[in-house]
């Protein structure tokens, strides 16, 4: 059985999409969260997924005692140092067509940019923000009558479908 550790700090919609995708498949998913009371913890409890609340400073020590086939960042709002990345393969999802709009507020920045399209990128993690080798991208049109909220929903729908498929491919 393959094992995945999802790192998340927020609400956990991508985490839930990943868990739902792998239900009934030979993949064990666990959660590492660095924020007490984050919405993702409530999701993990509801979905009956093992979770660990680990302060960022303790992440290295935690990972020394565990081994996973893949490490998946899903709204984990910290930059991982090389010492942590050396534990295995780390991937991240980002709501833009990288290298455009790296970092925070990518959807809003794309929306306000006047561009006609944006999208979602899945990439390997390195020590620089949203700079690792791109694994997969999917485009999303920014239509003239769209609101920012419409675009956010469209991007999240793409994320929830794309990320689990990329994870599955990497676990093969």
Report the distance separating Cα 128 and Cα 117, nearest Å: 24
Which residue, chain included where needed, has tokens 């990972």?
63
Is there a catalytic annotation at residue 94?
yes
Query: 163 and 122 in contact (C-beta within 8 Å)?
Result: yes
Q: In this structure, what is the dihedral angle of CA atoms 157, 162, 164, 170, given to the nearest 10 degrees? A: -170
Question: What are the residue numbers of the active site?
Answer: 94
């Amino acid at each position: 059985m393959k094992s995945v550790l999802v790192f998340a700090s927020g609400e956990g919609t991508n985490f839930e999409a990943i868990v739902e995708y792998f239900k009934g498949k030979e993949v064990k998913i666990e959660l590492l969260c660095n924020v007490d009371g984050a919405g993702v913890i409530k999701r993990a409890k509801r979905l009956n997924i093992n979770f660990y609340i680990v302060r960022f400073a303790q992440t290295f020590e935690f990972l020394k005692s565990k081994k996973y086939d893949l490490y998946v960042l899903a709204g984990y709002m910290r930059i991982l140092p090389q010492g942590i990345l050396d534990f295995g393969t780390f991937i991240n999802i980002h709501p833009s067509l990288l290298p455009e709009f790296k970092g925070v507020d990518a959807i809003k920045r794309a929306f306000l940019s006047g561009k006609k399209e944006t999208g979602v990128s899945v990439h390997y993690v390195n020590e620089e923000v949203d700079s690792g080798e791109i694994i997969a991208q999917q485009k999303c049109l920014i239509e003239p009558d769209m609101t920012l909220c419409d675009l956010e929903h469209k991007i999240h729908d793409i994320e929830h479908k794309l990320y689990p498929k990329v994870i599955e491919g990497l676990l093969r």
